[in-house]
Every structure is written in structure tokens, then in C-alpha cells.
Amino acid sequence: MTEERGEYGVKIIDKRIPVGEETRIVPQSDNAFLTLFQIAAQKGYDPEFISKMMDLQERHEAITARKAFFEALSAFKAEAPPVTKDKENRQFGSKYTSLGNLLDTYNPILGKHGLTLSFPPCTQTESSMTVEGRLSHSLGHSESMSMTGPIDESPIGRESGRAARNPLQNIKSTFTYLRSAICEAILGVAGTEATVDDDGNGADKYITDEQKKTIEDLIKERAVDKVKFLKLSNAESVETILAEKYNKAVAWLKACPKPKKEREPGEDG
């Protein structure tokens, strides 16, 4: 009720809504669509109007979910610690971060902020594999990323010259490596020295045995100071030269002049 003071005194205006079957209040439902439909049906709105209202509600919820997703992701990044290198690659004498350590470190923080990282079933051919990673929020919004890579068939057990892995282990190595790369990329966390297969047998980042032999032969042929060469290559040994620096290293060695051959006794000058 409200009071209005006019020229001749106070006038009482009753603005309360009469309670009746047509105007009864519909209880709130957890399902926003059902609540909206119930109210619209009682008001006698046509189905087209109800459909438009539902579309509007869906867009509103999608915007809300997307906003909540990025707020949660920002909170995760502010809290996420760096991961430690928990595995050792005996083949190259280096440490790397395993997929298990990545997930064990980040999953609890993701869950705390309503986020979940999942990997739907991958697709595979005889020579390659495609893996998808999906980061989802509890309100429904999700972002996904996929990567494709060749099946990891890098030779292991080089002392014997024979591969020590079977085809199933090659598939597991590829699957693990791609998930690790996606995990770092979709979460926006800093990469580590190497994030490869749990058993340390992921894709090589150093030169191959054949490339190593080529470099060793050039060093010998050009009589190059090996210590100086390794320093320029930023490597402790020829085995630890990065694959991405191989072409540059070979070009530098080939640019070095060959030592002059000394004349044998009796040769004409």
C-alpha cells in the first residue's frame, strides 16, 4: 500500500496483486528453462515467443559460463607452481618432466577452480597420431586444442644397434608426448627442458648417431679444435648437440679450411 497526499487529504492506494489461480507465483526451479516455460505458459504466450526467450536464456548462460571459465583460468595461472624435473633420460644424461608429474601438480589446482583437463579418444593412422586436449569449466564452457605427430619410432638401445621398444610402446610414447605438449600449451605453463615419454624415450631433441658421425668426420678432416667447436655449439659433447643446430654446425665445419698436406720425402716441390 502507498499513501498519496492530495489537495483534500490522504488517499490510500492498494497496489497488491490479488491472489488467484491465474496469478499464483510459480516456485523457482533449478532448471531455468522449465521455470521460464511455466511462467510463459501461464501468461498465455505463444510457442514462438517462448522459444525466443529460451534462446536468449541459453546465450546468457553461455556468456556467463565463458566469463567464469576465463576467471577460473586466471586464478589457476596465478596459483600454479613450476613443475620439477622428476625423470632422468639416461640416454642423454638429462632430466625432464614427466606427464604424470605435470598432471599430479596441476590437477588439484584445476579442480579447486572448477576446471578439468581431459583427453578424448585420439585418432591414429599407420604413421601418425592426433591427440586432443579439452579444458572445461563446471558451468559448461570448454576450450580444446589438438596436435598431430608421427609415431615415435626413434631407435632405443643404441649400444646394440637394435630398437628396444615394441610397436605398442612406440604408440604409448607418442600418445604420452603429445598429451604432455598439449597440457603445457592449453594451460599456458612454462615449458621445461624436456617433457617427453614417462620412460624417457620420447622424441629426440639431440642429433642422431648418423649426424654425430658426420660431425666427428668433419672435425677430423678439418683438424678443428673440438673444445672450441663444442663451445660454439653450446654443447658439452657431440652427442648433446641440439638437432636444430645440426645444419649450422655442419656448415661451420665445412667452412673451415682443410689442413695442408705435408709433402712426402722425394716429392717434387
pLDDT digits (tens, 9 = 90+) for 70-121: 999 999 999 988 887 777 666 555 677 788 888 999 999 999 999 999 999 9
Whether 2 and 10 have beta carbons less than 8 Å apart is answered as no
- Residues with Cβ within 8 Å of residue 245, at least 6 apart in sequence: 233, 234, 235
- Residue 70 is predicted with a pLDDT of 94
- When pLDDT is averaged across residues 243-254 and rounded to a whole number, the result is 87
**Among the ranges 54-58, 83-87, 131-135, 251-255, which has the highest mean pLDDT value?**
131-135
Q: pTM higher than 0.75 for the full model?
A: no
Q: Which CATH number fits domain 87-187: 3.30.160, 1.10.3470, 3.10.110, 1.10.1420?
A: 3.30.160
Mean pLDDT of the chain: 77
- When pLDDT is averaged across residues 219-233 and rounded to a whole number, the result is 88
CATH 3.30.160 in the chain: give the residue spans. 87-187
Provide the pLDDT confidence category of residue 141 given band limits of 50, 70 and 90.
Answer: very high
Provide the pLDDT confidence category of residue 54 given band limits of 50, 70 and 90.
Answer: confident
- Residue 28 is predicted with a pLDDT of 45
Residue with cell 580444446: 144
Q: What is the DSSP string of 87-119?
A: EEETTTTEEE--HHHHHHHHHHHHHHTTEEEE-
How far apart are the C-alpha atoms of 142 and 158, rounded to whole Å? 43
Instruction: Pick 148 or 194 by higher pLDDT.
Output: 148
